[in-house]
């Protein structure tokens, strides 16, 4: 029975250590006050949650420690169907209940979902470690900013432009790295990401350098979301005869972004079961076998790079649109690492896992805003814990199971 409590005790101790500096130290004027209650409560809660989990696990699996049947872990089809209808609906309604601050957080979360879905194709499905994914994100964002500055393009033209620019760049990067694997690939892509950032930072006459560039917000059928429109245009709120609110702009961006995420999601889930998606996975597992089976590893790898990059580029366009401003500091290596962390935490290749991880990793730091200094620390610890207890990620990439028809 003693062993029963050991793990929960360890959990409680960990929680205590982790949360004590965050919730136990309260800033009062120029002093820190030490409050012991909050971390203790958290540790206690963690202890009971862990005990509860163990109990539940025992109840669900009485008797022998037989490995769970694969079929019993499948989600019931009606539950799945209701969820696929209900969740998008909820997502579409969500922005109307959020304040401005949380709206921007929600947009950021969706952008990270998009980025993670893109990187997931390259790293999770095709198995190529890309440490420079932020380059495509930057290309999308700057594609919009530069297109507006020099070509007078609006958001709707920037969207395909940013996407194809990023996809093209993905292909260009893809060619030299086709013959590389693992560490070498990681180093080259890392360098690539930095090169793009350095170009944006140093080509001052073209990109504005560290000062960045301003970006207009998107328009709806030519209607602007500003208080006053440019010459001759009617702003959105006047057109509808409603009061001006800066939220409209964010709600609008959120809604388009949400639809884009849904479209990407359906594309990616579908691809997973199509020959192309299968080839990505197969290539990750055994390249020689693939080639002898007739899979062209060049087109398959390039398509993974290009598609991942394209999704990253679209994310970048939305980032520029929602911020209204871009500069190179948004596209550092840390950003690449963050996106990679999302993909790894989510469980390489698992789409639901990646979505959950993206939302958790963007929303949680906002909830813990006051302790933002500890964000990276908490991240690192979360990663270490994950790798120990759930090495295959939050949601393990589950294979579709084919039911036996006859007994």
List residues binding another protein (CB under 8 A). 70, 275, 278-279, 281-282, 285-286, 288-297, 399-403
Q: Which is nearer to another protein, 82 or 269 (by Cβ)?
A: 269
Q: Where are the alpha helices (DSSP H) in 20-61?
A: 37-60
CB of 68 to another protein, least distance (A): 14
Q: Which is nearer to another protein, 217 or 279 (by Cβ)?
A: 279
CB of 131 to another protein, least distance (A): 23
Please name which of 113, 104, 111, 101 lies closest in space to residue 140, comparing C-alpha atoms. 111
CB of 284 to another protein, least distance (A): 8
Q: Which is nearer to another protein, 72 or 403 (by Cβ)?
A: 403
278 burial class (0-12, 13-18, 19+ CB within 10 angstroms)? middle
Q: CA-CA distance, 166 to 210, in Å (whole number)?
A: 21
Q: Which is nearer to another protein, 31 or 405 (by Cβ)?
A: 405
Q: Which is nearer to another protein, 46 or 125 (by Cβ)?
A: 125
CB of 239 to another protein, least distance (A): 49
Please name which of 269, 226, 224, 221 lies closest in space to residue 246, comparing C-alpha atoms. 226
Q: Which is nearer to another protein, 37 or 69 (by Cβ)?
A: 69
240: Cα within 13 Å, side-chain hemisphere: 11
CB of 280 to another protein, least distance (A): 11
Q: CA-CA distance, 250 to 322, in Å (whole number)?
A: 7
DSSP codes joined into one string, 322-375: HHSEE-GGGGSHHHHHHHHHHHHHH-TT-HHHHHHHHHHHHHHHHHTGGGGGGH
The 10 Å Cβ neighbour count of residue 8 is 18
Q: CA-CA distance, 186 to 375, in Å (whole number)?
A: 25
**Roughly what angle, to the nearest 10 degrees, separates helices 275-285 and 247-272?**
70
CB of 392 to another protein, least distance (A): 11
DSSP codes joined into one string, 80-114: HHHHHHHHHHHHHHGGGG--HHHHHHHHHHHHHHH
CB-based contact 212:203 (threshold 8 Å): no
Residues 329/335/336/341 CA torsion (nearest 10 deg): 170
Q: Which is nearer to another protein, 199 or 276 (by Cβ)?
A: 276
CB of 285 to another protein, least distance (A): 4
CB-based contact 350:396 (threshold 8 Å): yes
Q: Which is nearer to another protein, 178 or 293 (by Cβ)?
A: 293
Q: Which is nearer to another protein, 67 or 241 (by Cβ)?
A: 67
CB of 307 to another protein, least distance (A): 19
CB of 205 to another protein, least distance (A): 45
């Amino acid at each position: 029975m003693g062993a029963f409590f050991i793990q929960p005790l360890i959990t409680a101790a960990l929680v205590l250590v982790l949360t004590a500096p965050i919730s136990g130290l309260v800033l009062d004027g120029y002093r820190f006050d030490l409050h012991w209650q909050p971390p203790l409560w958290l540790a206690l809660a963690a202890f009971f949650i862990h005990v509860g989990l163990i109990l539940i696990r025992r109840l669900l699996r009485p008797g022998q420690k037989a490995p769970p049947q694969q079929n019993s872990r499948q989600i019931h089809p009606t539950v799945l169907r209701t969820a696929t209808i209900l969740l998008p609906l909820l997502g579409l309604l969500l922005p109307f209940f959020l304040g401005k601050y949380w709206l921007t957080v929600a947009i950021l979360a969706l952008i990270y979902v998009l980025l993670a879905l893109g990187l997931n194709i390259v790293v999770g499905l095709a198995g190529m470690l890309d440490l420079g994914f932020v380059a495509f994100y930057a290309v999308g964002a700057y594609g919009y900013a530069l297109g507006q500055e020099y070509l007078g393009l609006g958001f709707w033209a920037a969207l395909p432009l940013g996407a194809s620019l990023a996809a093209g760049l993905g292909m260009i990067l893809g060619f030299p790295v086709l013959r590389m694997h693992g560490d070498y690939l990681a180093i080259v892509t890392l360098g690539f990401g930095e090169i793009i950032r350095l170009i944006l930072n140093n080509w001052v006459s073209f990109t504005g350098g560290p000062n960045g560039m301003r970006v207009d917000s998107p328009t709806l059928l030519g209607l602007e979301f500003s208080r006053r429109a440019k010459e001759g245009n009617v702003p959105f709120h006047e057109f509808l005869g409603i009061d001006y609110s800066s939220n409209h702009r964010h709600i609008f961006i959120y809604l388009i972004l949400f639809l884009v995420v849904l479209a990407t999601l359906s594309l990616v889930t579908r691809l997973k079961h199509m020959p192309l998606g299968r080839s990505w996975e197969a290539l990750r597992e055994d390249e020689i076998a693939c080639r002898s089976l007739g899979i062209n590893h060049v087109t398959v790898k390039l398509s993974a790079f290009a598609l991942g990059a394209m999704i990253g580029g679209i994310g970048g366009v939305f980032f520029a649109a929602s911020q209204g401003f871009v500069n190179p500091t948004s596209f550092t290596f840390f950003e690449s690492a963050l996106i990679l962390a999302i993909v790894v935490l989510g469980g390489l290749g698992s789409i639901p896992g990646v979505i959950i991880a993206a939302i958790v990793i963007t929303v949680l730091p906002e909830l813990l805003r006051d302790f933002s200094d500890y964000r990276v620390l908490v991240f690192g610890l979360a990663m270490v814990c994950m790798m120990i207890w759930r090495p295959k990620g939050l949601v393990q990439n589950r294979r579709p199971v084919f039911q036996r028809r006859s007994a």
